[in-house]
Chains A and B, each alone.
Chain A
């Protein structure tokens, strides 16, 4: 409930700010973002379902065995997991006020790892094209190209957001707005990590077995 006792400072559930005086509307914004991510998770779940039902229809074209390579996918997983780790350090740097340098540095590192992930994926897509595995070939490939690039698009937006975040941190430091924005960006970034792990297990690992 948004309005509790009005006496004394109150700790806000779900707000990892290490502050006992978080503003009530901060909790509202965070909760709204959680709800948004539930909706986004439904979107991914449906794309997974589409992949599950169409992924077997290769229509005489190449199948998962012919086109997927586990090595690069594992590498991408590693990069994204690392980026979640560096973002975690950034969040802790904010929580325990360890200075702007560490915070910005960790965000920059996260960005680099994210960009590395995107770069590897672009390379993957190019390799697939080289093998003639175009989205127009079969329902399997269409479903693949709907699911994985949607995640790609999310990570790209996440990278743009990190850049914007770093600029805004430079401009206005850690105030209420940047703090909660950083928290939301963190949620978003870890969420994308989880979705990727599912893509890795469900699309790549299962496809190769």
Chain B
């Protein structure tokens, strides 16, 4: 019986041997991470911007700023995870009947961090950021229901991401994959700190996500503008609501799974061990009870984004609004009934497999409804092929292919044939890349002008799109073939010469995807440089339909000088058509906003300290972190906050400036929305 206690020397198990000196690739990555962090910190110090960042961003509780910080975090983590994917593809293409350029151990860490980052620190922050920015504006609210809680959620997620970044330097990370399957992740088989990194990083982010789900759900129920009935909400808000509900009910399963695994590892308990009566199937059930709804947590917001895109860029109302809402809710409910398809091959009876196989296939029905609704939204519309819409079209085609391979996998006998092969890798990347990533990138392209007041360069956006989509097909279609030919997933070496051409093709695809990433960075850089010619201060560059487009770009911190009255779906569109958009108020009222708060960043730091202490068995650090967090929350509850009032004079000044820009702007028809003439005032007659 082995019991790990939090004792030992001052630094627990931490010593210089934690530095990844044995592998040149890992050491290089660590060096890049350290230099990058130092570079950013140095730049901020040189510019003297720490105070500004602290006051205006880190302690901000404005949902728009929090949303932007979430997206920045997601993009940074995306860059790391994409590069890791490239390294893995190159390794497999290289390691045919030879060991390749990285060790099996390192390869295990790569697919574990890649998966964990993509789900917990790329997809989740990205969609949380987009919802944070857009949803309150769309429902006509001034903020989310619990702005400080929002900041706390962000900082906990950031702390989890920081822990994963630290594991790059103070290695190693887990080799147990993003799902951390026991008993492999038990102490007996993974004695190092890697799994502990995974456990605490995931736990921090899942607490953040649970709180986020609560916050969004309450916001949508309670903070809608007058007249914004549930069935008048933009579809994006519906998907945000369903995602939030999934977060509230699914995240606890992950928390329980990681907590019990931690009890096994730290206190020698027997939940998932092979001895002592433990049962690893309990882990599999708990994990996928979270894991399958998680798939829809990350996909549904994209469905919402695409719904907005297709109707905006087709200048038509969304086809089948009610059916889309019902399909979204159906998917949310069904997502809880299928988790067992993740272990068809683990020994349950054929009856159970059949039941869960059928349940899985049922999800295809509401998803199919959505696809037809989107197609019919474009049908006979005046479709404009802007960059965001291109991503939408790529999504439609690619997602259907992925869905069909999913129907195959939902047939248990087929699953027996291809499980644990690259067919699976191909399938879930085929769902999640178009279904989540394309949606989030499209959201970024679509709402960027809203958030920053200027459009992104269209040309570089198209280059990025071309690289990503071609790269995607090259990188993942070969994996279907390889899977059918029996190539196992997660293997550092390959032993069949016949796989070589397919692996080279896949590696080429990965290179293209990295180029796509680079193009996105270039697009951002070029857009910032040429921001003056792309200004859309008036706020409505795409002839938008929902309320977020009715404000200036970027919107004032209070969102709306006067909370709008809503009379139907497509609220802003109808206002424009009936000449009631941009009402000039003759009197402005002061607006009460929440004050900035340092509790969020503090809890982030204390959470990170606790997690780091737990990983390296540094008892005092973990103890101080936990106690500090408890006292911080108690102390914070004693602070009486009255909020901060934006006076009517200031509101008037801001609004007057915007209305002046509004009067000066020339309305631009849809044919010219991508050229410098577009200042964000749509020509309604066109």
Contacts and interface: CB of A to CB of B under 8 A. Distances in A.
Interface of A: 1-3, 27-28, 31-32, 35-36, 38-40, 42-43, 46-47, 50, 53-54, 57-59, 135-140, 142-143, 145-146, 160, 164, 168, 171-172, 177, 181
Contacts of A59: 270, 275-277
B282 A50 contact: yes
A43 B271 contact: no
Nearest to B630: A160
Given A39-B214, A50-B282, A54-B277, A32 B269 contact: no
B221 interface: yes
Given A53-B279, A168-B637, A35 B256 contact: no
Contacts of A3: 224-226
Given A39-B214, A59-B277, A142-B269, A160 B634 contact: yes
24 contacts: A1-B222, A27-B222, A28-B222, A32-B218, A38-B248, A39-B213, A39-B252, A43-B255, A46-B289, A50-B271, A57-B279, A59-B276, A135-B267, A136-B268, A136-B270, A136-B276, A139-B270, A142-B264, A142-B278, A143-B271, A146-B269, A160-B630, A168-B637, A171-B638
A146 B249 contact: no
B18 interface: no
Contacts of A138: 270, 276-277
A32 B148 CA distance: 13
B347 to A, nearest CB: 15
Contacts of B255: 43
B253 interface: yes
B256 A43 contact: yes
Contacts of A142: 263-264, 269-271, 276, 278
Contacts of B214: 32, 35-36, 39
Contacts of A36: 214
Nearest to B278: A139
B278 A57 contact: yes
Contacts of A31: 218, 221-222
A54 B252 contact: no
Residue with the greatest number of chain A CB neighbours at <10 A, chosen from B217, B226, B259, B269 = B269
B634 A39 contact: no
Interface of B: 1, 3, 145-146, 210, 213-215, 217-218, 221-226, 248-249, 251-253, 255-256, 259-260, 263-264, 267-271, 275-279, 282, 286, 289, 630, 634, 637-638, 640
Contacts of B256: 43, 46-47, 50
A143 B637 CA distance: 34
A182 B256 CA distance: 29
B252 A50 contact: no
A54 B271 CA distance: 8
B613 to A, nearest CB: 19
A31 B288 CA distance: 29
Contacts of B286: 46, 50
Given A31-B218, A46-B252, A177-B640, A136 B269 contact: yes
Given A39-B249, A46-B252, 5 more contacts: A2-B224, A46-B286, A54-B279, A142-B269, A177-B640
A53 B252 contact: no
B263 A2 contact: no
Nearest to B2: A136
A32 B640 contact: no
A139 B1 CA distance: 13
Complex A-B, nearest 6 residue pairs according to Cβ-Cβ distance, in ascending order:
A57-B277, A139-B277, A59-B277, A142-B269, A43-B252, A42-B252
Contacts of A46: 252-253, 256, 286, 289
Nearest to B223: A2
Contacts of A135: 263, 267, 269
A50 B218 contact: no
Contact of B638 (A2, A143, A168): A168
A1 B221 CA distance: 7
A139 B638 contact: no
B291 to A, nearest CB: 14
A153 to B, nearest CB: 11
B589 to A, nearest CB: 14
Contacts of A35: 214, 217-218, 248
B1 to A, nearest CB: 5
B253 A136 contact: no
Nearest to B219: A28
Contact of A39 (B3, B248, B271, B282): B248
A136 B278 contact: no
A33 to B, nearest CB: 9
Contacts of B263: 135, 142, 145-146
A42 B289 CA distance: 12
B145 A50 contact: no
Contacts of B259: 146
B637 A164 contact: yes
Nearest to B230: A1
Nearest to A1: B224
B135 to A, nearest CB: 15
A9 B183 CA distance: 60
Given A53-B279, A57-B277, A32 B145 contact: yes
A2 B278 contact: no
A176 to B, nearest CB: 11
A10 B145 CA distance: 21
Contacts of B271: 50, 54, 139, 142-143, 146
A172 B640 contact: yes
A32 B248 contact: no
B8 to A, nearest CB: 20
Contacts of B638: 168, 171
Contacts of B1: 136
B222 A137 contact: no
Residue with the greatest number of chain A CB neighbours at <10 A, chosen from B1, B217, B277, B279 = B277
B252 A32 contact: no
Residue with the greatest number of chain A CB neighbours at <10 A, chosen from B213, B214, B217, B640 = B214
A199 B35 CA distance: 53
Contacts of A136: 1, 3, 267-270, 276
Contacts of A58: 277
Nearest to B210: A39
A143 B251 CA distance: 20
Nearest to A145: B269
Nearest to B638: A168
A199 to B, nearest CB: 16
Residue with the greatest number of chain A CB neighbours at <10 A, chosen from B145, B218, B260, B264 = B218
B10 to A, nearest CB: 27
A28 B143 CA distance: 13
Given A35-B214, A39-B252, A28 B267 contact: no
Contacts of B217: 35
Contacts of A54: 271, 277-279, 282
A171 B637 CA distance: 12
Contacts of A47: 256
Contacts of A143: 271
